[in-house]
Amino acid sequence: MIGRIQFPYRTVRGYQSLPWSGYWAPNFPGGTYPNSIWYPTPSNNGGISGSNGAIIAGATAPTLGTALAGFTPAHFGSGAGAELTSDVNNTPIKEMSDYVGTTAGGIIAMFNSSALGNFATGNTYDDTPIVIDGNGDFGLTFNSLGMAGFAYDGSYKITASISFSISAWHIVMLAYNGTTLSVQIDSGTAKTVSCGTITVLTGEVLMGLGYAQLHNFAGDIMEFGFFKGYTPTSTDYANYKSYVNSTYSLSL
């Protein structure tokens, strides 16, 4: 069953110093019609206020996760997931191309996985997702080997996997500049792969929902954001990490 979760206008806390093209802010309120934490069209530099969107839940909607430093994440499990849309009326459903550019873009996310994920059939888009394009052409997924970023530029380009611990909070950045795709977790070394112009970004934006709604994410997502026409830098990542460590009392 697909159910809609509507977000009215609201200003919330979050990281304001990056040019997000879409931003899922911290402190998920839960409920059928929670206050907004998803900003698909930010009106200022950080996406902390602006037009508010909606999500269409998967088989079940995300629930309230375990609070961290006073902030409640969205919890995913038993088929829970979110398809992110453009406005409270769910018209129209957004595509990944609305948030990520074909020659520059990226994703930064804060997550806590309760399992290492599916070991799929060799297709990275089939692995357990944080956020992916619904057609399987761009995103962050992981399996028992670790987290990888992928994109499609006529063929699949996939970074090497980065291992991470389960039942612990992490941040991850996927960055793309038109020639290189890179992924980095916490304070680890980035893994890169050559990648040309992304040819397809027309799938819907899926958060925690796997390709064809299989191999869904199990765990918590506190916040994440997209970049379009802008490649997040190592300095951006370091500043975001400092914000996360300070806000949530972590040492990533």
| Tokens linked to 206 | 């899926």
Q: Which of 12-16, 88-92, 246-250 has the highest mean pLDDT?
A: 246-250
In the chain, the percentage of residues whose pLDDT exceeds 70 is 72
Look at residue 57 and tell me whether its pLDDT is greater than 80: no
Closest residue by Cα to residue 106 from 215, 25, 198: 198
pLDDT tens digits along 188-231:
999 999 999 998 898 888 888 777 766 788 899 999 889 999 99
pLDDT tens digits along 228-245:
999 999 999 999 999 999
The answer to whether the CB of 184 falls within 8 A of the CB of 237 is: yes
For position 10, what pLDDT does the model report? Answer: 33
In whole angstroms, what is the distance from residue 67 CA to residue 63 CA? 12
Who has greater pLDDT, 135 or 38?
Answer: 135
Q: What is the mean pLDDT of residues 147-154?
A: 94
The answer to whether the CB of 59 falls within 8 A of the CB of 76 is: no
Q: What is the mean pLDDT of the chain?
A: 79
Look at residue 1 and tell me whether its pLDDT is greater than 70: no
In whole angstroms, what is the distance from residue 168 CA to residue 241 CA? 15
| Tokens linked to 29 | 């309120």
In whole angstroms, what is the distance from residue 107 CA to residue 239 CA? 15
Q: What is the mean pLDDT of residues 126-145?
A: 89
Domains and CATH numbers, the chain: 4-248 (2.60.120.200)
